[in-house]
């Protein structure tokens, strides 16, 4: 038995934030000192490394669970199912619902429960819960759905990745320009044909790597040190990703019994353009092959890094032919992969 994605949907907020919108920010070093160069230099360097030109922020009156609800509606419509037949709602996020201007996250009730309520699903046997797995959360949710369905515990699951990172960034940290908001959702069911999930790989590295991403105080010493924001050791994450993600992808591919030339597209977490390109280059180098043209669809230039939402959103855009010069066909082999806080790494091979 295999599982497949029978419905996919995403919600991309309408609020566009360009790099120029950061031109008046007071960016500071970790010790609170000012940079020795103007913001246009900071922004140009940032674009050169990450590839990000724009990102999307949630409308002020929406929370992460709202974005997830919108994406879930689209996935349910795409799958043409009755939501009352969903057995599990698995919601991957990092910070819960954070209201605009608030300094606390809200996770009671769970965000999965909130989506179930918004969908007006009455069936009490539809179990709703959240998972915290960093940026690889949606992929991990798919793997959990796979386990539930194969074990006979479920026939149909709704797996969601949603985040509003714009609500937890330090405006004085230049890394704040990376993050964005969005949601992606998918319906997962048993496959009765050749399509579906073929193999997977997942792992957590929790020694020195555990705190590469963390919650820390603002770089502005005048602000409340007990108010926390998302922080990262960028260079350490970059090196970690290059040393672990290609190997995980290779192991996953080998488990599927397929070869490197069978892979048509790689849908990787939209974290950083240069890092993603380096991961793909190293992955193909492990196989002694050059990187094929157009193997890696990208959305980060326009949408930024929305954490758990990037991969399902990318898949939705790809299916709907909304990524320039990128198409997929029935039977194509796709490789999904992600890396993020934990540090967690995962991947799966999927026949479309």
Write out pLDDT tens, residues 93-112: 999 999 998 889 999 999 99
Contact (Cβ atoms closer than 8 angstroms) between residue 43 and residue 19: yes
Determine the pLDDT at residue 281.
97
| pLDDT tens sequence across 128-151 | 999 999 999 999 999 999 999 999
Q: Quote the crossing angle between the two packed helices 273-286 and 39-50, to the nearest 10°.
A: 30
In sequence order, what are the beta bridge partners of 334?
A: 265, 350
Percent of the chain with pLDDT over 70: 100
Question: What pTM value is reported for the model?
Answer: 0.96
Q: Tell me phi and psi for residue 115, to 5 degrees.
A: -65, -40
Q: What is the mean pLDDT of residues 84-101?
A: 97
DSSP 8-state symbol, 227: S
Closest CA to 253 of 149, 327, 152, 350: 350
Q: In terms of residues, how long is the chain?
A: 352
Q: What is the mean pLDDT of residues 34-42?
A: 89
Contact (Cβ atoms closer than 8 angstroms) between residue 269 and residue 340: yes
Determine the pLDDT at residue 192.
87
Determine the pLDDT at residue 1.
86
Closest CA to 86 of 169, 185, 157, 148: 157
Cα 204 to Cα 192, 338, 339, distances in angstroms: 32, 12, 10
Instruction: Grade residue 342 by pLDDT with cuts at 50, 70 and 90.
Output: very high
Closest CA to 133 of 12, 307, 250: 307
Q: Exposed, middle or buried by CB within 10 Å (0-12, 13-18, 19+), for 243?
A: exposed
Q: What is the mean pLDDT of residues 113-119?
A: 98
Half-sphere exposure of 120 (CA within 13 A, CB side): 1
Distance, CA of 34 to CA of 197 (rounded, Å): 49
| pLDDT tens sequence across 267-305 | 999 999 999 999 999 999 999 999 999 999 999 999 999
Residue 229 confidence (pLDDT) above 90: yes
Q: What is the mean pLDDT of residues 24-40?
A: 91
Distance, CA of 92 to CA of 87 (rounded, Å): 16
| pLDDT tens sequence across 183-195 | 999 999 998 888 9
Distance, CA of 164 to CA of 179 (rounded, Å): 9
Instruction: Grade residue 219 by pLDDT with cuts at 50, 70 and 90.
Output: very high
Distance, CA of 19 to CA of 50 (rounded, Å): 12
Residue 36 confidence (pLDDT) above 90: no
Determine the pLDDT at residue 5.
98
Domains of the chain: 2-193 (3.40.47.10), 198-351 (3.40.47.10)
Percent of the chain with pLDDT over 90: 94
């Amino acid at each position: 038995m295999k599982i497949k994605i029978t419905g996919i949907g995403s919600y991309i907020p309408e609020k566009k934030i360009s790099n120029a919108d950061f031109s008046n920010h007071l960016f500071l070093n970790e010790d609170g000192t000012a940079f020795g160069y103007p913001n246009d230099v900071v922004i140009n360097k940032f674009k050169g490394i990450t590839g990000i030109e724009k990102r999307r922020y949630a409308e002020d009156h929406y929370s992460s669970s709202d974005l997830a609800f919108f994406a879930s509606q689209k996935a349910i419509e795409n799958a043409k199912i009755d939501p009352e037949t969903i057995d599990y709602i698995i919601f991957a996020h990092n910070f819960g619902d954070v209201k605009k201007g608030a300094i606390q996250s809200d996770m009671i009730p769970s965000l999965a429960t909130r989506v179930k309520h918004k969908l007006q699903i009455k069936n009490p046997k539809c179990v709703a819960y959240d998972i915290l797995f960093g940026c690889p959360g949606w992929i991990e949710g798919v793997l959990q759905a796979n386990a539930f369905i194969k074990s006979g515990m479920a026939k149909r699951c709704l797996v969601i990745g949603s985040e509003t990172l714009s609500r937890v960034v330090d405006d004085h940290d230049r890394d704040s320009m990376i993050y964005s908001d969005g949601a992606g959702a998918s319906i997962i069911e048993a496959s009765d044909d050749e399509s579906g999930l073929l193999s997977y790989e997942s792992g957590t590295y929790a020694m020195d790597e555990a705190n590469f991403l963390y919650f820390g105080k603002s770089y502005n010493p005048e602000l409340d040190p007990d108010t926390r924001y998302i922080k990262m050791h960028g260079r350490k994450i970059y090196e970690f990703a290059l040393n672990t993600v290609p190997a995980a992808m290779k192991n996953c591919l080998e488990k599927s019994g397929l070869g490197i030339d069978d892979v048509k597209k790689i849908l990787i977490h939209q974290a950083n353009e240069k890092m993603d390109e380096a991961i793909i280059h190293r992955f193909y180098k492990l196989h002694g092959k050059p990187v094929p043209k157009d193997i890696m669809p990208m959305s980060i230039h326009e949408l930024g890094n929305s954490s758990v939402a990037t991969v399902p959103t990318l898949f939705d855009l790809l299916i709907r032919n909304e990524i320039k010069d990128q198409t997929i066909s029935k039977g194509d082999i796709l490789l999904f992969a992600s890396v993020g806080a934990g540090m967690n790494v995962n991947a799966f091979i999927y026949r479309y």
